[in-house]
Chain A
C-alpha cells in the first residue's frame, strides 16, 4: 500500500492505495464517486473519463499513483452549489442523455473541449468525442448539446400538438438531471453492506463432458465463503417456457467457451478471482459444432449439443427449431412474375454493445430473496428465480435500478443472477457481481449469424407477386428467444408490402458458441436486408425508380396481410415521401457519378407482441396510481426504463389526462414487490401497452375526482376541465387547485389508488404459427442513405442518412428522435463494421477495440423525421419507435453502394476488403 494525495473535486484526500490500482477503482471503491463508470477496463469506451489537471483521461487505465498531488475533476464535481454547469444543462435540454452510462465521460470530455476551444466546429466536436462511445444516441444530440454551449442558436419551434397540454412536447427525461450529475445509481453503483463478491470459472472447452471439478484448493483459501457448481442448480430455465434448455452453470457438460462451470463467493473480488484460478476441471472433449451446416446434418455417432432435445429420437441433428409458414402459392407466384431474383445472403452475429456491463446484487432476509440487477424484464427474472431456486413467487423481489441500456441484451434471465441469488440464500449474506466486458460478450444473446436464400418476384405491373425464403440462423449453445427469432425472420416479411404468395422456412440450429437471442429489431433485421436489396434488384431490372416500386406496393391502412396481421394506422407512404423530398432523391438517384450513390429501403415492425410469452389471462401491462393529501400522483409501473425514456413517457401520459404539471408526478418503476406486472421492455411494447395502461389508470383516477367534485358542486361531469394543475368548470364558478380537488376527493376515504391495464385485442388467424408477429399495431418507416466509395481502398463513407418513422404520434418527440437516431446508428454499425468473429468457437473480438461500434467520427449526418399516422388504439395515437427504424438503414446503405459502384453486397458487414474485392471483380 502507498499513501497518496489526491485533490478530487476540490477536496483533498490523503489515502492509502494499492500501488498499481487504477484511478477509476479508487474513485468508485474508496471515494464513493460512482459517477465515474467502468465499461470496458481497457480504455476503449470512455465511460471512465475524468479530468486530470483539466485534461480528459481514461481513469480505468490510469494508475492512481500517477495522480499523486494532482487535481482531478469527476462528474460529481462539475456542478456548483447544486447549479449545473452549462454543458450539463445542454445535455439535458437537447436530449443528449438516454441510458446515461456514457454521459459522465461525454460531459467531461465536452467540458474540457469547451474550455480549450469555446467555439468548436462540428468536426472538432466529433474529433474530441471520438474516444467516448455511445450506443444510444448516435451522437447527434450530444454534438448538438456541445454546439449549443458555444453558440446559442435559435431553437427550432417545438413540435407541439395543439390539442394536448404535454403530449407531443419535447420533455427531457425525468432522471436526466441525476444522470448528468453522475448521481444516478446503476446496478454496480449500489453499495450493499457486507456484500461478498462473486466471480466465475468459465469453460475453456466448446463442447466437452465435465468429468470432475476439484474445488478443494479454492475452498481452503481464506475469505472464500461458497463455491457453487452445476449440480447444485440443476433446474432448467429459459426466457421462453417452450424452450427451457439452460442451467445456471454447466451440468455434466459444457456447450461453449465461456460457459460458467463454477462460481466463487468471497470477501473480495480479488480473492474470488484467485480462488477461481485454483478450481481444476477435468474435461473430456466432444465433437464441436461451429458451422450451422454441420448442425443441420445428421450427426452420426457424435453427441448432440442437447442430447435430450427431440426426445422422440426422430432427428439426429442440432436443429433447435424449425418454423415454416406458407400462404398462397409460391410456385404459381414465380410463374406469374416477370421480374425475378434469387440470391444468397450472409450475416454475422451482432452484439448489443451496451456500455453498462451486467451487474447485480442479491440478498436474503425475512422477506426472502431480493435482487437488484441490470434487467430489462424484472417479471421474467422473478418467475425464473422462483422456479430455479424452488421458491414461492412471494419470496422473490426483483429491483431494476437505473439501467445502462439493453437493446434486448438484458431481457433474458441470466446465470449470474441466478447464481448470486442462490449464494445469498445459502449464506444469508449479500452477494454481488459485475461482469467484465469479455464476459458480457460471451454472455451475448445478440443477433443471430444468418444465412438465407431469398427469392422475390414482381409482375409486369410492378406488383410484388411472391416472396420465398429459406433461412438458417445460428443460435449458439442455448435457446433464449430463439423460437421467436426463427418465426420473426420469416413472418415480419409480410409487410410493409402487399404480397399474396409468401412462404418461408427458418431453421435455428444449436452450435457450440455463445447463445444468440433478441436484439433491437429482433429477428427481422437480416431478412429485411435481403428483401430490400431484392426489391432494388428488381427495380433495376424493370428500369424503375425503387421508391416508386415501394410506393406502388405498400400495404394500405386498415387491411389484413396475407398472414392475417391487422394493419391499422400506416404511414409508410408519407414516411417514404418525406425522405425522398429531404434527400433530393429524384435529382440524385441514378444521376450521381461513379463511386457516389444513393439508396433507399423501407421497413415495418411490431408495437409489442399481442400474445404473451407465458400463456395466461393476466393483462400485458398494469399501472397503479396513488394520490394522497400532498397532491402528488405516484405512478407505479413494472416497465423498465433502460434509457429509452419509458418512465418519462408514463409521466407525460398521466400528466396529460389529469392536466398536471410534472411537479405533481412521481414515477416508481420496475420493483416486483412495489409495482404491478409489466411484461418488460422488449419487442417495442412499452409505450403502446404500458402507455395505454397508464392512460387507463389516469382516466380512472380522473373519474374519482370528477365524481367527488361534481357531487360537491352539483354540476355535470362534462362541465369539468383538468388543466394546468387545476380542476375547473366551464364557467369557472368551480375553480380548484389540484390540491384542493384532491382534498375533496380524499375526504373520509384517504388516499386514492386506482389501477389501469392493457390487454391486446384478440387478433390473428387460427393456423399453427398464426400468433407469431401479431401486434395491436405496426410501425413503418424508410431510410435513404448517400455514400461515397473510395475506388482505390473500398472504404465506404456514408455522407448522410435521412430517416423517417411512423410512430403513430410522438408522445415525447425528444425521446422519439433519440430512439430513431440511435437505431440508425446501430444499424450503421451492422452495415459497415460490426461482427462477432470466431476462431474455433473462440470469440476473437470480445472487447470494444475489436468489436467495432461506430465512433462519433464514423457517424454521418443523420436527419430524423417523425411521421404521425395517429394509431387508433395507441395511447394518444402512439406506437413503436425504438426498433423498427433500424431495419431499413442497413439495406439503404447496401443499395446506395450498388448505386455508387454497381456491385451488390450480399454479406454484412460491408467492410472495405469486401467492397474492394467486388470492385476488382470484372
Chain B
C-alpha cells in the first residue's frame, strides 16, 4: 500500500522562469494548476511527487486575448472564466459547450483549461484507492505487469478523458510549450502519446503556456458527451466536430483510446469512410462504467448526428 507522505513542499512561483528554475533544480517536483484532479489522485495514492509547483500565480498564464489572427488563452485560465468570457462566447461556442460539460460548476471555479488538457488518463481499474489497487494487484499503469481491463500484458489502454481537448483540436488549436531550453508551438493533438501509462509527449518539466486558436477559420461546431448523469462525470465518450471555411471537417474524440482520436475529413465524405478510420484508431475496452458495446454503438450514433448537422449546412 502506498500513500502520499505527510506533507510535501508547495511552491507558488510568479514567473515562468521561476517555475522552470524550481522544477529543474529540485528532483521530482510536479506542476499543478487548478489541483482538482491531482488532489484526488494524491488522496488515492495515484500521484507521487516530492513537491508541487503551482502555476496559477503566473499572471501571464491567467489571461486571454486576441493576438493577431489568433486568440490566445492562458493555460491557467479557469473553466468558469472561459465560460464567462464574452469573446469566446461569441466566436467559439464549442469551447463554451465543452467547458460547461466538465465536472460541476464548483470544480470549474477551480479547474483550469490547461489542467484539463493535461489531466491524467483514467480507467475504472486504476482510479481507485491504494487499498483497492493492492487488493486487485497492481496494473500496468501503477507499476504492475498486467492490465486488469483486458488481461493483457503489453499495453495500457487507459482512457483519454479531457473534454476541452476535442473541442480545441477540432478548431485546429495549437499550444505553446516551454521548457528550460526552448519554446515551441505544436498542434494540440501532438501533445498526446497514445500510451496509456505516459499519456503525454512532454515531460513533467515542461509548461503548457498558451492555447492558440485560429480566428475566423471555422463555420460551425458540434459537441457531444456521453455520461450517466448530467454533471460531475468524466466522459465515457466526447466528440467535437468543426466545419471549417475550407469545407474541411475536423473531429476529435475522447474516451475511446489513450489519446484523442482525430479525423481530418471534409464535407460530403461518406460516413463509412470516416467511421472506418475512427474505428481503426479507437481502442474501446471495458474500462468505463458504460460497457464497451454501448460506447461503440454511441460512437456511431454521435458520429452520425455530428456529421448530419455539419453536412446539412
Q: Do these two chains interact?
A: yes
Interface status of B1 (Cβ within 8 A of chain A): yes
Size category of the A interface is 35 or more
Pick the contact of A19: B10, B129, B148 (CB < 8 A): B10
Interface contact A130-B35, CB-CB below 8 Å: no
Pick the contact of B229: A41, A843, A857 (CB < 8 A): A857
Contacts A43-B40, A56-B106, A845-B289 given: A61-B132 contact, CB under 8 Å? no
Interface contact A131-B131, CB-CB below 8 Å: no
Interface status of A127 (Cβ within 8 A of chain B): yes
Interface contact B3-A273, CB-CB below 8 Å: yes
Interface status of A661 (Cβ within 8 A of chain B): no
User: Nearest A residue to B2 by beta-carbon distance?
Assistant: A277
Interface contact A57-B109, CB-CB below 8 Å: yes
Interface contact A858-B229, CB-CB below 8 Å: yes
| Residues on B with beta carbons closer than 8 Å to the beta carbon of A66 | 12, 35, 54, 56
Bitwise interface map of B from 125 to 136 toward A, beta carbon under 8 Å scored 1, else 0: 100110110111
Q: Whole-angstrom distance between the alpha carbons of A912 and B237 in the complex? A: 14
Question: Which residues of B in the span 280-300 have a Cβ within 8 Å of any Cβ on A?
Answer: 289-291, 293-294, 297-298
Size category of the B interface is 35 or more
| Residues on B with beta carbons closer than 8 Å to the beta carbon of A843 | 132
Interface status of A383 (Cβ within 8 A of chain B): no
Interface contact B107-A131, CB-CB below 8 Å: yes
| Residues on B with beta carbons closer than 8 Å to the beta carbon of A792 | 301, 305
| Residues on A with beta carbons closer than 8 Å to the beta carbon of B52 | 20, 63
Q: Whole-angstrom distance between the alpha carbons of A428 and B14 in the complex? A: 50
Interface contact A204-B131, CB-CB below 8 Å: yes
Contacts A2-B10, A19-B10 given: A63-B109 contact, CB under 8 Å? no
Bitwise interface map of A from 18 to 29 toward B, beta carbon under 8 Å scored 1, else 0: 111110000000
Interface status of B65 (Cβ within 8 A of chain A): no
CB distance from B41 to the nearest CB of A (A): 10
Question: Which residues of B in the span 183-212 have a Cβ within 8 Å of any Cβ on A?
Answer: none
Interface contact B231-A130, CB-CB below 8 Å: yes
Question: Which residues of A in the span 781-834 have a Cβ within 8 Å of any Cβ on B?
Answer: 792-794, 833
Interface status of A457 (Cβ within 8 A of chain B): no
Contacts A130-B105, A131-B107, A850-B124 given: A855-B232 contact, CB under 8 Å? yes
Contacts A68-B12, A130-B104, A842-B136 given: A61-B294 contact, CB under 8 Å? no
- Name B's interface SS: loop
Pick the contact of A63: B10, B103, B226, B293 (CB < 8 A): B10
Interface contact A204-B135, CB-CB below 8 Å: yes
CB distance from A410 to the nearest CB of B (A): 22
User: Nearest B residue to A442 by beta-carbon distance?
Assistant: B131
Pick the contact of A833: B105, B148, B228, B234 (CB < 8 A): B228
Interface contact B7-A20, CB-CB below 8 Å: yes
Bitwise interface map of B from 147 to 167 toward A, beta carbon under 8 Å scored 1, else 0: 010000000000000000000
Interface contact A916-B7, CB-CB below 8 Å: no
Interface contact A854-B229, CB-CB below 8 Å: yes
CB distance from A836 to the nearest CB of B (A): 12
CB distance from A189 to the nearest CB of B (A): 21
Q: Whole-angstrom distance between the alpha carbons of A86 and B156 in the complex? A: 53
Greatest chain A CB density within 10 A among B7, B230, B305 is at: B230
Interface status of B269 (Cβ within 8 A of chain A): no
Interface status of B8 (Cβ within 8 A of chain A): yes
Contacts A849-B233, A916-B297 given: A839-B109 contact, CB under 8 Å? no
CB distance from B66 to the nearest CB of A (A): 26
Interface status of B276 (Cβ within 8 A of chain A): no
Q: Whole-angstrom distance between the alpha carbons of A202 and B130 in the complex? A: 11
Interface status of B85 (Cβ within 8 A of chain A): no
Q: Which A positions have Cβ atoms within 8 angstroms of B?
A: 2, 18-22, 41-44, 46, 49, 52, 55-58, 61-63, 65-66, 68, 109, 127-128, 130-132, 202-205, 257-258, 270, 273-274, 277, 438, 792-794, 833, 837, 839-840, 842-846, 849-850, 852, 854-855, 857-858, 911-913, 916-917, 920
The 5 closest A-B pairs by CB, nearest first: A131-B104, A913-B294, A131-B106, A204-B135, A19-B10
